Chains A and B, each alone.
Chain A
Amino acid sequence: ETGVTQTPRHLVMGMTNKKSLKCEQHLGHNAMYWYKQSAKKPLELMFVYNFKEQTENNSVPSRFSPECPNSSHLFLHLHTLQPEDSALYLCASSLRGQGSWGTEAFFGQGTRLTVV
């Protein structure tokens, strides 16, 4: 248990569906992230939120829409996805502050997404 909880753990959706992934952290962190892990590729950063404000969008297609209502919750809204979007989607959180110490990211267990 890392203190970062993701739901659902598994999701199968059609290309015309709309679904949302949820992430919640109980670590008192002030930054949250979405990462994508595809087979045979390194983890890729998708979005960064700092104090609920989106600070980075790593050229992610608009069919992925993040939402961060507060510093403990993060959502990823999905619509009209493609089969190649099937992957493990990982949420992470960290502290953001001066210096490096204590700013490591802690990950949730991920949502295994399959687009059919």
Chain B
Amino acid sequence: DAGVTQSPTHLIKTRGQQVTLRCSPKSGHDTVSWYQQALGQGPQFIFQYYEEEERQRGNFPDRFSGHQFPNYSSELNVNALLLGDSALYLCASTPGQSSYEQYFGPGTRLTVT
């Protein structure tokens, strides 16, 4: 079992650009959540997808959007990048919308210059 995989590993973008990050959940998991982790801080919840719909959302602007595909994989899109969007973006998957154990991927390190 490959666990949760994310791509790319690292990414460098310029202010104002758009970025798409990808996540493949653990086998058998149908729910994907995304988190943003700034340097030296704990992860912050962005949103959760289940059955191809956004089910929960944290305190993030509309510039952050997502998508879930029929195979349960997911994308995180961020538009109009700001310097403050530089962070580690983590994907977590679970079997169902309310599972006690979330499985996290290794993250994508986004640097905005």
Chain A bound to chain B? no
A contacts, CB < 8 Å to B: none
